[in-house]
Structure 1
Amino acid sequence: MVTHVPTPPSDRPALTRRADRFLTHWSLRADGPHLSGIAALVLPVTAADGTPAALKVQHLDEECAGEATALLTWAGDGAVRLLAHDPPTGTLLLERLDEHRPLSALPDTREAVDVLGALLARLTAHPAPPGLRRLGDIARGMTARLPRALRAEADPGTRRLLRDCAAALGEVADEPGDRLLHWDLHYGNVLAAARAPWLAIDPKPLAGDPGFELLPALANRYDPSDTRRRFDALTAALGLDRERARAWTLARVLQNRLWQLEEGRAGRPRDDVRLAVGRALRAL
């Protein structure tokens, strides 16, 4: 998942116009067509000095507002480099990566999980800078929203799971952490690069515990027989306390279901891979 609220299709023309404006503003030459994501447009470009780059335009929301701050903090350590940015619009000029070689195309999921673990270890080694969303605030918000969600959840088994997720959150919420989190590091948000084998893109940054980072890697390219191995590989790569990481991952399962219920997108619980990950981790 890139963001839980897709950009409405009617907003695409506005993003395209903004991209055209910044081509002129930053003296860029377009090298190819716009690449449309869920909430942004990315355009391959060449700068005036010949540097290949990527122009990213997006609608600012609470999830992407800190993207430039995070990229500046990482300074290319495991993540795409930020070359320029426009704070009022959230427009970014990024180093060019190979959009045709995402980690999701790697056939060996074991190798892909190891790549994600190594990247997460590098990214979360950085303390979060001031001004980002904080996991402690998110945790308190989830706790406050839980009663209404339980009333909306029709499936008894899923209600029990959500209560268990909330209980796990309660065990760790008083120590929410202070690391710089990517929050959305799945296989599609890692691209091959010239200066490094793989680099992370599209952070939705917040300050918190690295255990909150694991769910995308467990749910993306989901394999029910591989959940425990992936979880163990990721916690080992990041040097995490296994029980704390389990609790924060269950909290992430709760967060996702809260969004689904509030937005009327809950669907059938048995078809939801994140709930399946929650059930598997609850049994560990």
Structure 2
Amino acid sequence: MATAPIEPPQRLVSSVSGDPESPVRRWLDALPTLVQQRLDDWELTLERVHAPGGRSSLLALVRQADGTPAALKLPAPGRRVGHEAAALATWDGWGAVRLLRADAASGALLLERLRSGVSLRSLPEAKALLEAAGTVRRLWVEPPAEHPFETLAGRAEEDAEALGTAGGLTRAAGPLVAEAQELRRGLPAASEERFLLHGAFRQGKVLAGERAPWLAIGPSPVVGERAYDLAALVLDRFEDLVAGSGAAAAVRRRVAKLADSLEVDRDRLRDWTLYRAVDAGVREAAVGDRQRGELLLEFAAWL
């Protein structure tokens, strides 16, 4: 039982809408009660709320009734609540954090405890990329027959609106945005691969564990081709590549190296990377970070 007050981390509070009637705001206000309910129902003892934490969920470090350490995650409400639990259940600890319990009503997850302060980002770039590639490869499995996950075609369709908000970027961005829009329409239909993908893979979402050296967390699962997941890995820590000498050549080498090491078509990986870089750049500019948005578009241009 918890005796200390449960306070959501400031990062989570700051990222939530100020509208008191929004579902996410009401969820945030109810979080202390929701956490306490899970602690009581699952016989957990709260150690502390993890900070700074994420922008769309609360993570609490807890102990189970037998003293085993675990992590309690409560995600913000959304139509994909439950998809993370379904993906973790499918992987069953293979390459990813193990799901111990789940509550369908609240979306709460009880997860095995990993070393939250140690991710692949703590490693040198070459070693981090190697370990990340090995981890994401394990996640690419056949989805269950009756799965709830969206497809890449559906996800790309949702991105159409975001790509249409590129007005705040420079005129030079126009051709790249047009190419990304064309790729959005054509890429999903041009592949017959149907793997369960992490959907939001990056080095920061691979943590050190006891059961295995590195395990993935926080999936946004989607069904489609492997190049989509791998494109996010090409983009990971892109600022380091941009800051170095010979950046354009280094970007293309990264695409070739990752594609060849995981037996993914180089051209498909290049196209998905360009699409994801432009999409991310437009989104960053739309929320006010124009500098980062322009940097992502520059990265895309080198492809």
Q: TM-score, normalised by structure 2?
A: 0.80
Q: Structure 2: how far apart are the matches of 1:37 and 1:139?
A: 24
Other structure's SS at 1:174 match: helix
Which residue of structure 2 lines up, in the alignment, with residue 250 of structure 1? 274
1:42 aligns with 2:66: no
1:15 aligns with 2:37: no
Other structure's SS at 2:74 match: strand
Q: Structure 1: how far apart are the matches of 2:226 and 2:195?
A: 7
Check the 8 A contact 1:153/1:159 in 2, yes or no.
no
Check the 8 A contact 1:145/1:258 in 2, yes or no.
yes
Aligned length: 273
1:235 aligns with 2:266: no
Q: Structure 1: how far apart are the matches of 2:201 and 2:209?
A: 16
With over 3 angstroms needed to count, the CA separation of the structure-2 counterparts of 1:153 and 1:97, relative to structure 1, is: same
Q: Relative contact order (C-alpha < 8 Å, sep 6+): which is higher? A: 1
After alignment, is 27-36 or 121-130 more displaced? 121-130
C-alpha displacement at 1:34, in angstroms? Answer: 3.4
1:173 aligns with 2:195: no
Which residue of structure 1 lines up, in the alignment, with residue 302 of structure 2? 280
Which residue of structure 2 lines up, in the alignment, with residue 210 of structure 1? 226
1:161 aligns with 2:185: no
After alignment, is 32-41 or 48-57 more displaced? 32-41
Q: Structure 2: how far apart are the matches of 1:15 and 1:182?
A: 27
C-alpha displacement at 1:71, in angstroms? Answer: 0.3
1:71 aligns with 2:88: yes
In structure 1, give the amino acid aligned to 2:300.
G
Mark the structure with the bigger radius of gyration: 2
Other structure's SS at 1:31 match: strand
Uncovered stretches (5+) of structure 1, i.e. residues with no partner:
none
Which residue of structure 2 lines up, in the alignment, with residue 127 of structure 1? 143
Q: TM-score, normalised by structure 1?
A: 0.85
Other structure's SS at 1:56 match: strand
C-alpha displacement at 1:169, in angstroms? Answer: 3.6
With over 3 angstroms needed to count, the CA separation of the structure-2 counterparts of 1:208 and 1:62, relative to structure 1, is: farther
Q: Structure 1: how far apart are the matches of 2:202 and 2:260?
A: 18
C-alpha displacement at 1:250, in angstroms? Answer: 2.1
C-alpha displacement at 1:188, in angstroms? Answer: 1.2
Other structure's SS at 1:196 match: coil
Uncovered stretches (5+) of structure 2, i.e. residues with no partner:
1-13, 19-24
Q: Structure 1: how far apart are the matches of 2:94 and 2:125?
A: 23
Which residue of structure 1 lines up, in the alignment, with residue 77 of structure 2? 60
Aligned-residue sequence identity (percent) comes to: 31
- C-alpha RMSD of matched pairs (Å): 2.6
